[in-house]
């Protein structure tokens, strides 16, 4: 038996197969070789597709909504408290004193009212301009006798047998009718214009002078002219004569060249009387005032404060009255 211990053991290390595998890549023999290809050209960038979005519908402007209808308030006769007017207070201001002797002032306003009442009668009969029963007393400047003439004219018309009169203080900034007659204050025309629920006839003051009623100016606002220019004004004024077709309404307005309400009131009346102060009212001021009152077609001038008459007029002297 051969002694195998004498056979040398091959040195340890990688086997033949392992050494062959290191010299030859057998993996290339077991899978297909893919040739190198040139890189594919880059595609042009494609803009992202955005689906069109319909514009949001634009809301149509809300149609003009008229103000809510005013509450319907039944027209009532004048039923306010009656107040006594101090006759002595009237005499001190040279105001006509009812039931007294005939004076020059009384006679002069008798002449003045005749033409005004004639126009009012024609208006009622439908042969004259509308609203002839509404008379605006105005002046160009303060201090020309506007309130003096308005009060005297009202007292004179109150003495008529077929007419009664409502004297409205429309000088909202500086009312003076109540102080001239010695009457207490209270709600008036401006309050009725501002508050649709307030009947204007509830603001009227009765007097102990037969046929004479007074409507105060009321509480002044910063929008007096705008209230007068509103559509509500005509409805309020119509209530003043609703129960008495023979009632004359006289408005004592602020001076035309000092405040704007007179120009608005002019479109609501049928007659306007502009008081002109003798030796006081300039021609330019008078023309300017008359132009601003052009909304009224019938404008008359009343000369106040004269001391001399070229025709010798001395009304009242025939009855024994002396200056």
81-125 residue pLDDT tens: 789 999 999 999 999 999 888 898 999 999 999 999 999 999 999
SS3 annotation, the chain: CCCHHHCCCCCCCCCHHHHHHHHCCCHHHHCCCCCCCCCCCCCCCCCCCCCCCCCCCCCCCCCCCCCCCCCCCCCCCCCCCEECCCHHHHHHCCCCCCCCCCCHHHHHHHHHHHHHHHHHHHHHCCCCCCCCCEEEEEECCCCCCHHHHHHHHHHHHHCCCCCEEEEEECCCCCCCHHHHHCCCCCCCHHHHHHCCCCCHHHHCEEECCCCEEEECCCCCCCCHHHHHCCCHHHHHHHHCCCCCCCEEEEEECCCCCCCCHHHHHHHHCCEEEEEEECCCCCHHHHHHHHHHCCCCCCEEEEEECCCCCCCCCCCCHHHCCCC
pTM of the model: 0.76
Q: What is the mean pLDDT of residues 247-257?
A: 97
Name every residue whose Cβ is closer than 8 Å to that of residue 142 and which is 6 or more positions away in sequence: 255, 258
* Higher-pLDDT residue of 247, 12: 247
Map out the domains of the chain as residue ranges.
Answer: 82-307
* Higher-pLDDT residue of 19, 210: 210
166-196 residue pLDDT tens: 999 999 999 999 999 999 988 999 999 999 9
Res 26: pLDDT: 45
CATH number for region 82-307: 3.40.50.300
* Higher-pLDDT residue of 3, 217: 217
Confidence of residue 38 (pLDDT cuts 50, 70, 90): low
The overall average pLDDT reported for the chain is 84
Q: What is the mean pLDDT of residues 48-76?
A: 63
Whole-angstrom CA distances from 254 to 8, 66, 153 are 147, 32, 17
């Amino acid at each position: 038996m051969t002694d195998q211990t004498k056979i040398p053991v091959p040195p340890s290390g990688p086997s033949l197969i392992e050494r062959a595998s290191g010299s030859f890549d057998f993996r290339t023999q077991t899978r297909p070789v893919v040739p190198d290809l040139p890189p594919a050209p880059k595609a042009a960038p494609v803009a992202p597709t955005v689906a069109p979005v319909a514009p949001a519908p634009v809301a149509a402007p809300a149609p003009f909504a008229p103000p809510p209808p005013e509450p319907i308030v039944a027209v009532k006769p004048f039923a306010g408290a009656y107040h006594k007017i101090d006759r002595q207070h009237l005499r001190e201001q040279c105001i006509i004193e009812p039931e007294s002797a005939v004076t020059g002032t009384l006679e002069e306003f008798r002449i003045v009212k005749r033409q005004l009442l004639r126009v009012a009668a024609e208006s009622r009969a439908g042969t004259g301009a509308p609203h002839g029963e509404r008379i605006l007393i105005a002046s160009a400047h303060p201090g020309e006798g506007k309130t003096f003439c308005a009060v005297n004219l009202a007292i004179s018309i109150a003495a008529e047998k077929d007419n009664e009169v409502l004297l409205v203080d429309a000088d909202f900034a500086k009312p003076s009718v109540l102080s001239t007659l010695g009457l207490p204050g209270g709600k008036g025309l401006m309050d009725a214009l501002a508050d649709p629920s307030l009947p204007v006839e509830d603001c009227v003051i009765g007097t102990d002078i037969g046929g004479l009623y007074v409507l105060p100016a009321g509480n002044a606002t910063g929008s007096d002219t705008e209230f007068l220019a509103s559509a509500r004004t005509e409805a309020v004024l119509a209530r003043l004569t609703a129960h008495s077709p023979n009632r004359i309404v006289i408005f004592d307005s602020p001076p035309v060249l000092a405040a704007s309400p007179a120009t608005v009131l002019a479109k609501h009346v049928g007659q306007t009387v502009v008081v002109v102060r003798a030796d006081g009212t300039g021609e330019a001021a008078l023309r300017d005032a008359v132009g601003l009152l052009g909304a009224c077609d019938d404008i008359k001038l009343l000369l106040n404060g004269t001391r001399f008459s070229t025709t010798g007029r001395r009304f009242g002297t025939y009855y024994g009255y002396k200056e």
